[in-house]
Amino acid sequence: MKSQDIRAKFLNFFESKNHLIVPSAPMVLKDDPTLMFVNSGMAPFKEYFLGNANPKKNRIADTQKCLRVSGKHNDLEEVGYDTYHHTLFEMLGNWSFGDYFKKEAIAWAWELLTEVYGIDKNILYVTVFEGSDEDGLGMDTEAYDIWEQYIDKDRILKGNKKDNFWEMGDQGPCGPCSEIHVDIRSDEEKAKIDGKELVNKDHPQVVEIWNLVFIQYNRKANGTLDTLPNKHIDTGMGFERLCMVLQGVQSNYDTDVFTPIIKEIETITNSKYGKDSKSDVAIRVIADHVRAVAFSIADGQLPSNTGAGYVIRRILRRAIRYGFTFLNQKEPFIYKLAETLNKQMGEAFPEINSQERLIENVIKEEEHSFLRTLDQGLLLLDKVIENTSTKTIDGSRAFELYDTYGFPLDLTQLIAREKGYEVDEIGFDQEMKKQKERSRSASATETSDWIVLSEDNTEEFIGYDTLVADVKLTRYRKVFSKKEGDQYQLVFNRTPFYPEGGGQVGDIGSIEAKNGDVVHITDTKKENNVIIHYSNQLPTHIDGTFTAVVNEDHRRLSASNHTATHLLHQALRTILGTHVEQKGSLVKPNYLRFDFSHFSKVNGGQLQEIEDFVNARIRENLPLEEQRNIPMQKALEEGAIALFGEKYGDNVRAIRFGQSMELCGGTHVKQTGDIWYFKIKSESAIAAGIRRIEAITNVAVGKYFENVEKQFETVKQILKTPVEPAKAVQSLQDENASLKKQIEILLKDKTKNLKGEISNEFDIINDIQFLAKKVDLDAKGIKDLCFELGAEHNNLFLIFGAENNDKAILTCYISKELVADKNLNAGNIVRELGKYIKGGGGGQSFFATAGGKNPAGIEDALKASKQYIT
Ligand code: ATP
Ligand code: MG
């Protein structure tokens, strides 16, 4: 069975069981502070389990792209070494939100596996939760009794809290689970050891394929469990592992999900999969990682130096490193796999198809720059080895290579070993631990449970229509962080405060109690669909009514910049072409930033056109046409632009200004004239194929021009010129250039004259022509003098001192034959003489200079120089 059919069969099966089939959510998460990437099928549905939103239907099924490379689920180090863990994988899942529970979940899982897919039940094992004293929970007999109806008792195994109790995080919904494992070993192997001994023992042919989670508890901040009123089902089956079983192969990499990519790697790198264990690991690493990186880029998360972007960069670098070390790839090559990946996945995941070129470009550029870093690191490592007197490289040096050059320990070890050196691994680990502690203690936060004041947790956003409203606090909690101290998070029954989103910063403002007490709101953010107001204080009389007041300037100016980004987007697509796609934006009151895909620099003429285009739309004073709740499909038909990597519901908000129409949740001006003026401040590259425009609007433009004019006036005053300053500056520059030329000629003459005079002043000491003299030349003049004398005379030992702008310079020149014969070294000599002029320097063995801040010491230095040859 082909992988495409396996996926389709799963979805069709659950559709026939009355489930709604939904597409995979984007893999990169935007409003969840506890998670960077979706790491299991349930992550996009978290808000339903938390009760912050209601699902479209209480039965859903899907395939979800998951990434397990950071935080609680991190399989990165396994990937490549085993045959069944990936960074990016698809998780097939069926969900019940307060609808069916264990009975149906187990029955359907069994029916699908054994009847639809036809898996022999004699290769299956299941597990049930054995209970936990810590939590005061007994065995999950409910699940056990159901399983007994389908499978032999001796194939039902009891599992501990680690394997059979699933938790979303430290807090929140959780519950026992039942895993389904397969044993795909040969009969011969099975005869040697019973499969049940190998379940959950990391055996590559006895693996878990499906986990059925029965969500029935809520874990509170103090660690205790509450029973949930509504029970849920959350299941996750590894798609690639299922393909392995159904295609009768022994490794996920031998399924048709991976074989086309592996073939391509073989061709590009001229290697053969299955020949050598080391290059096999490398091939698996690359085949896996290219998928993770490509999907992340398609979802809008580019490799970068911080946060989620850094995680992606590290994954790609791991692939590059394995290619570099084990497949001898010294040039970029991973980007070439994008095409095959698209052929393979583009149909099920259209975001890969439409962004193939961007994926290719970004990966190629990353490869280039990391290979350069690797080269630099190799040189540095050579130096470290050179300066190591023992056969062990210091852990702290290895850590420095890792930390500043991205040079991982195993690579350092590999290269060191080739040269007969070891790396002090314990020292390395200690440095790593220290760094982790530093960052942990800087970012440590403690969050208390919500204090619930009202059971009604619906929360209405009314900020599109008003900036002031009477509100009631429904819950709050305290968050302590080392960096920011105590903070309170407040949730109201309704709120005019816009929460950060769509690039636009969150509103600030205040909450006023009836008795006049005022609490400032410092930020507003959305977390799993709840609008949270941040404050350094808790209001008194928390049970009363408050007047919530959004800071009007902050909002008005943010709206001005937000609308401007839409007009800018339209301008870019009109002037540069419709290949332009938004790749990120930041909208603040005083500034806007817009990132987009485009493959070359936007030149000055184009920038002017873009600016003019936006300003023309501003002058047209186009009115805001808002459709707050229209079907997604209708909006798209009307021409609205949707972004990749953004999670949209069935109904969306569409914002139109003239011909510009976008799906957007942000706040906007009433008419474009409110923007006043749009001014581009800069254009730059932020990654291969991604450009960034920074711009300002409204009062910021006024301030900008005021400032420019002030500077212009100052320049005019300095120039004291009635003509245009530009002309005056040009003539000053011309004058300056001709003066420079004249000085050069004069100095050359001076050097020549000096050379003539000096040739008669050498002292002959031990066959050496010695001269120590103070001269009135600059550093370049002295250098020329030295080399010209050197060309005419042999056996020279020259020391020149000079005073330049209250600084002292010493120069030492030694004929090359003396350097060898008399073992003299100009670099060492100037370094020693440098102390007379309170400075230091160095250079080569035949020519070196020192600079210092004590010209009075020049004479003493010159006197002392004789000692080196007497
Ligand atoms: P394992 O113990 O094998 O790592 P898990 O307990 O971490 O699995 P779950 O978190 O229960 O797995 O995820 C549900 C299913 O997703 C698993 O049964 C498995 O089929 C699949 N899965 C989990 N992690 C990976 C991974 N890194 N690569 C591919 N599939 C995975
Ligand atoms: Mg795991």
Cα distances (Å, whole numbers) of residue 813 to 212, 322, 772, 780, 801 = 81, 50, 10, 13, 12
pLDDT for 449: 85
203 Cα to the center of ligand 1, angstroms: 13
Measured from the alpha carbon of residue 236, the closest ligand is: 1
Nearest CA to ligand 1 atom 5: 208
238 Cα to the center of ligand 1, angstroms: 6
Greater confidence (577 vs 72) lies with: 577
Mean pLDDT, the chain, rounded, equals 92
Greater confidence (799 vs 305) lies with: 799
At a CB cut-off of 8 Å and minimum separation 6, what does 171 contact? 219, 220, 221, 447, 449
Per-residue model confidence as pLDDT tens digits over 467-483: 999 999 999 999 988 77
582 Cα to the center of ligand 2, angstroms: 35
Q: How confident is the model at residue 646 (pLDDT cuts 50, 70, 90)?
A: confident
Residue 562 among known ligand-binding residues = yes
Per-residue model confidence as pLDDT tens digits over 194-251: 999 999 999 999 999 999 999 999 998 888 999 988 899 999 999 999 999 999 999 9
Does residue 690 contact residue 596 with C-beta atoms inside 8 Å? yes
Residue 368 among known ligand-binding residues = no
Instruction: Enumerate the H helices of 219-306 as residue ranges.
Output: 239-246, 259-269, 277-298
User: How far from the centroid of its chain's Cα atoms is residue 461's Cα?
Assistant: 31
Q: How confident is the model at residue 864 (pLDDT cuts 50, 70, 90)?
A: very high
Q: What mean pLDDT is predicted for residues 831-835?
A: 93
pLDDT for 31: 74
Greater confidence (446 vs 518) lies with: 518
165-167 vs 172-183, strand pairing mode: antiparallel
pLDDT for 221: 84
Q: How confident is the model at residue 462 (pLDDT cuts 50, 70, 90)?
A: very high
Integer Cα distance of 733 and 668 in angstroms? 48
Q: How confident is the model at residue 520 (pLDDT cuts 50, 70, 90)?
A: very high
151 Cα to the center of ligand 1, angstroms: 22
Taking the CA of residue 78 as reference, the ligand 1 atom at the shortest distance is: 27
Greater confidence (676 vs 747) lies with: 676
What is the residue-wise DSSP string for 550-586? E-HHHHHHHHHHHHHHHHHHHHHHHHT-TT--EEEEE
Residue 668 among known ligand-binding residues = yes
- Reply yes or no on whether the pLDDT at 644 is more than 80: no
Full-model pTM: 0.77
- Reply yes or no on whether the pLDDT at 627 is more than 80: yes
Q: How confident is the model at residue 277 (pLDDT cuts 50, 70, 90)?
A: very high
Residue 19 among known ligand-binding residues = no
Q: Is 166 in the pocket of ligand 1 (CB under 6 A)?
A: no
Integer Cα distance of 205 and 659 in angstroms? 58
pLDDT for 477: 93
pLDDT for 461: 95
Q: Which domains does the chain have, with CATH numbers?
A: 3-257 (3.30.930.10), 357-438 (no CATH), 446-550 (2.40.30.130), 555-705 (3.30.980.10), 751-868 (3.10.310.40)
Integer Cα distance of 338 and 296 in angstroms? 13
- Reply yes or no on whether the pLDDT at 169 is more than 80: no
